[in-house]
A and B are shown apart, each in its own frame.
Chain A
């Protein structure tokens, strides 16, 4: 009798009963371990990063950390490599992201309109994304190499690169990193945008066609407005990712030549794990994180103000 009563109770009622009896719903109790784990691996280090950023972390065993207040933050603005790192970071992020988005969108449109072999082509386009960033770094290190690199040979043959170098040149080195980044991450943009294109309502497209709109007009008035949420997500994910990326720089140039590829993220790594200035590194990390979040919010708000986000 009791069993049949329980069986007749809905899931929602069970949850309410559980909450009454144990103070938290059944599902609530189930997620607690995951929440604890998440707190341990994200909130705890985050808290320590903030704490460390106001200390000069001891460099000798037994020595105590020295509280320095905001000195680590103030010193950031006197550190020329940090300040210069922002302009390098801006170029790296801005150029990579723009080209990846434009190329990704073009590829997505292409794949969306192909009738035969679209799946095979999509898989081929996705290959670079499946390679580990460090491996991509090594790959491009080799193809840019002046001794046996294919790109090097090609650029010299067509006359773009005269008697010069790619990774050893102050102007070209960052371009080399950007090319590697575009090769690896354009497929990500294409994949996400392709998913968005598949969701563009066919009835709206049909209606636009009936109204006599050409492909460009249909793209501007139907496809693009429908794609905005997807674009925001793709650009945001990629933006937050690229802001902290150092793998390829680490492998290809180690920040050189003459600091030409030393982005803020790479310099942060240098300071924290190369110089072992953990207080300074924490301050840098915190500022980089705040700025990344700030810029991401600003981007979303900008789109909202422009009224293009639904």
Chain B
């Protein structure tokens, strides 16, 4: 058969060349379909001339493009993933949302950005673990905001359109020259506590401790310590421990310790001109001062009475313990209210849980003359565009960023999976405000009243935003955990941290 028209060898040779050629084309082109700009990035009129009739549909100008968004496993990403078809109908673009745990997202996105490639056109940009390091590699969104050849969010992107300075925290790093991300979701730490048990054992507690068993905005960490001792005892058979921390090494632990530190005299590791923006070189740290040592004594005392598993828990671990009645109280992120309020998953559901501001610092434990505040921190996830991409690809990615952070989508995500909106118009929407009280169809909204107070000064602690945040958080966690576990004294811990963190910054 082959001899008649083409020898077997020639056929194989041609087939091989074709396969090689195809493979090379695929390799060069990558797996991502490149955008064909209809409304051009440089010259709109010229582009309109090329493709008349489509100038009205700014959303569809990059139809046929495929985008990949590498995200943490967060509610908005799940919800938007479910709406991929809707996004395709709107824009003609395909969006693939890949989700993983934050450390893996950080690793993969980091390699992509630092390697100069564009495997992920969009990435989840957690303010501290990710963007403190990668901000210089993200595209500057200023060049797209206000560009009338691109679709824009009608309510705009000004700082007051989002939660208190959330745009600064997510988008600006070390200066305000470049905007690198839009706030996409925000998990805010607040107090979850078993109101049913507080009410049931009010009398017994008061008889023992001489004051009412109540959790208010003025409840201090010293009082929380009393609550722990009470719930740990035999008086309350429904529960094992009073309180659960989330001291897992890494970001969870860093945030957990920081809340206690900041509550007492607003103590922070470094002084910044503007902590919401951060600094590349923060200078000498404050470890070793009197307040830092006092704070470590406080932390050690608190952990002594907390659930012994506390050093191995992150937000999910402590949430499981809370849901299964292992602990009566915990500081956790508002987004967990959705599972806590689900009677199929939680013993704390059905109105048993109340939400409050994080505990206040105990005035008698403050030695730096600072204020006692309800130290509150958060993790804002931004959505950022890979700066290695071509201009057109960045524009295509921007369309998704606008879509994913729009007020309409945020509200619909909140109604569906229970997201953590970042736009004030959503957080103050009458329907959402109504849902902040029981009975509610949006359990996460129950956490907004304390959250919205906690994220503003004087309670909020947004940083430290420094390029070496990841190394700092590991050092802080390891040494503070050793102190908590009784392996070294607070004085030794403060001295070690002072030496190592200053060394890290060349001080």
Contacts and interface: CB of A to CB of B under 8 A. Distances in A.
B309 A274 contact: no
Count class of interface residues, chain A: 20 to 34
B312 A167 contact: yes
B111 A258 contact: no
Interface in B190-219: none
Interface string A1-33: 000000000000000000000000000000000
Given A168-B313, A256-B311, A276 B110 contact: yes
A92 to B, nearest CB: 16
Interface in A54-106: 59-61, 80-81
B111 A273 contact: yes
A167 B474 CA distance: 18
A163 B428 CA distance: 45
A270 B308 contact: no
B76 interface: no
Interface in B268-320: 307-313, 317, 320
B240 to A, nearest CB: 9
B247 to A, nearest CB: 7
A296 to B, nearest CB: 28
Contacts of A166: 312
Contact of A256 (B110, B137, B249, B308): B249
Given A59-B133, A147-B324, A168-B313, A257 B481 contact: yes
B107 interface: yes
Nearest to A253: B312
B328 interface: no
B131 interface: no
A164 B310 CA distance: 10
Contacts, number: 109
B250 interface: yes
A165 interface: yes
B114 A276 contact: yes
Contact of B308 (A147, A148, A165): A165
B15 interface: no
Interface string A260-293: 0010000000100111110000000000000000
A165 B312 contact: yes
B308 A81 contact: no
Contact of B326 (A81, A146, A170, A257): A146
Contacts of B110: 273, 276
Interface residues of B, number: 42
Contacts of A250: 103
Contacts of A255: 249-250, 474
A201 B481 CA distance: 56
B310 to A, nearest CB: 6
A256 B477 CA distance: 9
Contacts of B106: 273-274
A169 B248 contact: no
A141 to B, nearest CB: 9
A174 interface: no
B137 A168 contact: no
A257 B485 contact: yes
Given A60-B136, A275-B471, A258 B307 contact: no
Contacts of B321: 146-147
Interface in B362-413: 387
A260 to B, nearest CB: 9
A256 B470 contact: no
A231 B246 CA distance: 44
Interface string A162-194: 011111111001000000000000000000000
A61 B387 contact: yes
A9 B317 CA distance: 72
Contacts of B474: 81, 255, 270, 274-275
A132 to B, nearest CB: 15
Contacts of B247: 168, 256-257
A145 interface: yes
A259 interface: yes
Given A147-B326, A170-B487, A276 B133 contact: yes
A157 to B, nearest CB: 15
Interface string B124-138: 000000000100110
A229 B358 CA distance: 62
A258 B481 CA distance: 5
A170 B485 contact: yes
A165 B136 CA distance: 42
Interface string A235-259: 0000000000000001001111111
Contact of A258 (B116, B311, B500): B311
A276 B103 CA distance: 12
B467 interface: yes
B14 interface: no
A274 B481 CA distance: 20
A81 B478 contact: yes
B482 interface: yes
Contacts of A256: 247-250, 253, 311-312, 477-478, 481
B478 A273 contact: no
B468 interface: yes
Given A59-B133, A61-B137, A258-B478, A167 B309 contact: yes
Contacts of B133: 59, 276
A273 B312 contact: no
B309 A165 contact: yes
Nearest to B486: A170
A145 to B, nearest CB: 7
Given A170-B485, A254-B249, A274 B470 contact: yes
Contacts of B310: 168
Nearest to B251: A254
A22 B310 CA distance: 69
A81 B477 CA distance: 12
Contact of A275 (B111, B312, B324, B470): B470
A168 B249 contact: no
Contacts of A259: 249, 478, 481-482
Given A147-B324, A274-B470, A276-B133, A258 B482 contact: yes
B320 A145 contact: yes
Contacts of B137: 61
23 contacts: A61-B137, A80-B500, A145-B317, A147-B320, A147-B324, A164-B308, A165-B312, A168-B247, A168-B310, A168-B313, A170-B485, A253-B249, A256-B247, A256-B249, A256-B311, A257-B485, A258-B481, A258-B485, A258-B487, A259-B249, A273-B107, A273-B110, A274-B474
The 4 closest A-B CB pairs, nearest first, are A256-B249, A168-B312, A258-B481, A257-B311
Interface of A: 59-61, 80-81, 145-148, 163-170, 173, 250, 253-259, 262, 270, 273-277
Given A256-B311, A258-B478, 12 more contacts: A145-B317, A168-B247, A168-B311, A253-B312, A254-B249, A256-B248, A256-B250, A256-B478, A257-B248, A259-B481, A273-B106, A274-B474
